[in-house]
Structure 1
Amino acid sequence: MSAFEFTFSLFGLLLGFSLVEVMSGLVRTLKLRGAVRIGWVTPLLGLFVMVDLVSFWSAAWQIRDLVPANFGVLLLGLAITGVYYFAASMVFPDDPADWPDFDLWAERYKRRALGGVFAANLMATVAMFSQLPPAMLTPAALGMHGGLLAVMAAAAVVKPHWATGLLLGAILAFYFLFSVLQILG
């Protein structure tokens, strides 16, 4: 078993739980379709959290040879994936029937969900950049990660629902474009 396989057995489990948390919230919500107003910000937030979780999973694989197997790495991984789980649990209400309008839920809890994803990304970015060789720390890489973090932070604090949705849509479009370029690349 490699160091990466050892450490990622813990991270993968927690990331999987986070994905299940968002997906189960979506399923509970869809079962109540018609009885509650779902809106579009909460589903966009759920999609964003799932896509960002997958991007973390992908980034971890890309630096797998740089990941040592030690207690510090396990604690950092626990912190990052624990924050992801917290964020994932904030996307949908535990009991959707208690929230007849999910736009109100999103208004109240989006800062926690987006703030959690922001914090997880910030920790992961700092950890990843500290392990990369200097030649890989290009202005483009720094700008891409910094820009993504800035848009996440803006989506967490912006007030109008349409602006939150627009920023989430922009992040999702970035991830989509990035994935297409990787497939074609």
Structure 2
Amino acid sequence: MHPQFDYIFELFTLLIGLAVAEMLMGFSRILKLRARRKAGVDPTAINVRVGWLVPLLGLLVLADLGTFWSIVWTMRGVLDMRTAMIFGVLVLIGGYYLVATLVFPDEPELWPDFDAYFWQQKRWVVGGMFLINVATSAAGLALGAAVSPDEAQAAAIAANPLFLASTLMIFLNYPAFIWLTFSMGKRVCIALMLFILATQVLYAVSAWSIPGLA
């Protein structure tokens, strides 16, 4: 671990925490909206249809935030307090916070059908996540963050075919993100979001027993 990593990680944690809080607030607004609709105490809430697209997009952003956090942790040996590094962190995490603010409408009652809001914001949210993931991976390669596994890791990986399969499936997330960005089919978008979520969960589960990755 780079000796200055703790300082820059504090900045990273603060900004990523704001993005996670924004996502949780969005889910909270949906739950409150449904509660008011079921109770019949809010005429505007009764006319709002939430659907599946926006909540699934919120789950996708949350899962991707977790993956992004783990990627930054693997870069702990090369992150320091250089000005360019700080600006890079601000751009990437600031981009994630901006993406998070676009997932849920601030005033749900103005959107009778959340699906309409989804189609308005999907390209910005999914396209933003894709670009941030690509930029983060490129930064890791440029900084030399990738390291070869030690003997314990190599043995654990070789004995875990599920991890090897999940790693290959993770790489399919890149074309899935591109497809999701431009797709205009509801069922296709749901299937792609579920696929990306499933691959990230599978990777997290399969990496649990591998030293340094769990």
1:119 matched to which residue of 2? 131
Instruction: Give me the TM-score of the superposition, normalised by structure 1.
Output: 0.90
Residue segments in structure 1 that go unaligned for 5+ positions in a row = none
How big is the shift at 1:69?
2.1
Q: How many residues align?
A: 182
SS at match of 1:56: helix
1:163 matched to which residue of 2? 188
User: What whole-Å deviation, never above 9, does each CA across 1:1-45 have from its counterpart, x for those lacking one?
Assistant: 931111111111111100111110111122111332111111110
User: What whole-Å deviation, never above 9, does each CA across 1:128-161 have from its counterpart, x for those lacking one?
Assistant: 122236775xxx8x96665322211211110011
Q: Which has the higher helix share?
A: 1
2:17 matched to which residue of 1? 16
Matched ranges for 1:1-185 at <5 A? 2-33=3-34, 34=37, 35=45, 36-132=48-144, 136=148, 146-185=171-210
Instruction: Give me the TM-score of the superposition, normalised by structure 2.
Output: 0.78
Report the CA distance shift for 1:78/1:144 in structure 2 as closer, same or farther (over 3 A). farther
8 Å contact from structure 1 (residues 87, 115) kept in 2? no
Whole-angstrom CA distance in 2 between matches of 1:23 and 1:106: 17
Q: Which runs of 4+ in 1 moved over 4 A?
A: 133-136, 142-146
Whole-angstrom CA distance in 1 between matches of 2:145 and 2:23: 35
Report the CA distance shift for 1:144/1:55 in structure 2 as closer, same or farther (over 3 A). same
CA RMSD of aligned residues (A): 2.2
Aligned amino acid, residue 207 of structure 2: Q
8 Å contact from structure 2 (residues 127, 178) kept in 1? yes
How big is the shift at 1:62?
1.8
8 Å contact from structure 1 (residues 125, 145) kept in 2? no
Bigger CA radius of gyration: 2
Whole-angstrom CA distance in 1 between matches of 2:79 and 2:146: 17
Whole-angstrom CA distance in 2 between matches of 1:47 and 1:123: 22
